[in-house]
Amino acid sequence: MFQRIGAAAYKANLDNTIALCNYLGNPERQLKTVHIAGTNGKGSSSHLVAAVLQQAGYKTGLYTSPHLKSFTERIRINGQAIEEDYITHFVNKYFDFIETLQPSFFEMTVGLAFSYFVEKQVDIAVIEVGLGGRLDSTNVISPEVSLITNISYDHQNLLGDTLPQIASEKAGIIKTHTPVVVSQRQEEVAKVFEQKSQAENSPLIFADLQYQIITNEVADSFTVLKDNQILLNGLLCELKGGYQPKNFKGVIAVIECLRQKGYDIRDEAIQEGFAKVCSLTGLKGRWQQLGQNPLVICDTGHNEDGIRQIVAQIQQQKFKQLHFVLGAVNDKAIDKILVQLPKNAIYYFCKPNLPRGLEADSLKTQAQVYGLAGNVYASVQTAIEAAKQAAEADDMIFIGGSTFVVAEIADL
């Protein structure tokens, strides 16, 4: 199970997924889909696209990973998580075949999701890539449009050590004659996407070259311009991270592609979908405020670029003292994260409760090299409680470093 044990659970081919889908009657061929990959922002973008489609009146499936609290979060229709009874029925029904094939946890989950969406007759399903793209189990679909959010360093042990290598893996979701949106044009990797889309005869849209976002900080709203003309005005979004406007451009471009394919998505559906994305789809853990006086924020950002965005956002907050509850997994390039973290914070080092978790003592030792000081705690929750006890009303508590740290917050 990749979520728990990491790279050992990763299968670098699609053989099992194809065999499983064949056995299930090829549900992936019976679905209209949007396919979303990228290093950061693919989860937020998936939820935004799904929320807009829901508000436009489409019965919308949403497949994402990993989950925070319950496995059922991974598979949703119009925001409602899959029923536990359906999961047990599926496993029992196909148990013998699963025992014979020995698919990975993720491969079986993909087969389950596709079967569920077909059986429940969704109009369209938004499918988030698990890891990479080219060899990801989700990459057996033929989507209406593909979206790649951005490229930065993560899972180098599986995807490659350079940005072009990582981009090449993500570009594997580009399908023949299928439009592909890239949220951010990055000079180092643009050519990878250009060459792949040309080879597939697929229209390529770099969203940030066509769309601009103007932020109205007083009203906490956005105006979206396309080619310097106002497309949407007064857009509100439930996702508050300062990094989200980068995702918005890609999402709007995807919606425009779907409109061109005949989907009836009115501006009101975009406005409502953005404004209510968390409540519509159940998204949690993206710059989520959990308390005030002191301000308590959590975020699932966990790689070099994700942490950079979080630190920039923290620096925009007003507080007297920052209390930072920090945990990590042991297969991340932790140095690239630690070097970015503020030295004037008080750290509460903890280990997320899974085999991949990095021991809190080890994390503290490595953090000290970068001038980060604090104490070690027995669990994520005891670290949070200690931070709350120590913090004054005008302080800030941030909880993060790993998706799995956020998952253990009791009141999330």
Are 405 and 350 within 8 A, CB to CB? yes
Tell me the C-alpha distance between 114 and 121, whole Å: 11
Cis peptide bond N-terminal to 66, omega within 30: yes
How many CA atoms within 13 Å lie on the side-chain side of 5?
7
**In-domain check, residue 46:** yes
**Within a domain: residue 320?**
yes
Structural domain span for residue 247:
2-281
Residue 86 lies in a domain: yes
Tell me the per-residue pLDDT of 88-127, one tens digit each, with 9 for 90 and over: 999 999 999 999 999 989 999 999 999 999 999 999 999 9
What Rg, from alpha-carbon coordinates, does the chain have? 21
| Residue 173, CB-side half-sphere exposure with 13 Å CA sphere | 32
Residues 341, 253 within the same domain? no
What is the phi/psi pair of residue 343, to 5°? -80, -20
Ramachandran region of residue 7, left (φ > 0), alpha (ψ -120 to 50) or beta?
alpha
One-letter amino acid at 149 equals T
Residue with tokens 């935004």: 48
Q: What is the dihedral of CA 359, 362, 367, 370, to 10 degrees?
A: -150
Adjacent-strand bridge partners of 322: 396
Helix (H), strand (E) at residue 115: helix 105-119
Count up the domains in the chain and report the number: 2
Cα 227 to Cα 51, 94, 248, 356: the distances in Å are: 25, 51, 15, 46
What is residue 10's predicted lDDT score, i.e. its pLDDT? 57
Domain C-terminal end among 281, 307, 327 = 281
145 contacts: CB under 8 Å, gap ≥ 6? 34, 35, 178, 179, 180, 181, 254, 257, 258, 261
Q: Are residues 177 and 122 in the same domain?
A: yes
> Which of 236, 251, 281 is the endpoint of a domain?
281
Domain co-membership, 203 together with 327: no
Domain check: are 64 and 189 in the same one?
Answer: yes
CATH classification of the domain holding 300: 3.90.190.20
Say which amino acid occupies 272.
E
Q: State residue 2's pLDDT score.
A: 43
DSSP string, 54-91: HHTT--EEEE----SS-GGGGEEETTEEPPHHHHHHHH
Same domain, 354 and 210: no
> If 0-12 CB within 10 Å is exposed, 13-18 middle and 19+ buried, where does residue 78 land?
middle
Residue numbers of the chain with a pLDDT score lower than 70:
1-11, 154-158
Q: State the DSSP string of 150-213.
A: ------HHHH-SSHHHHHHHHGGG--TT--EEESS--TTTHHHHHHHHHHTT--EEEHHHHEEE
Boundary residue ending a domain (236, 252, 281): 281
Residue 5's pLDDT is 45
Within a domain: 119:
yes
Tell whether 412 is covered by a domain: no
Shared domain for 109 and 242, answered yes or no, is yes
**Total number of residues shown for the chain:** 412
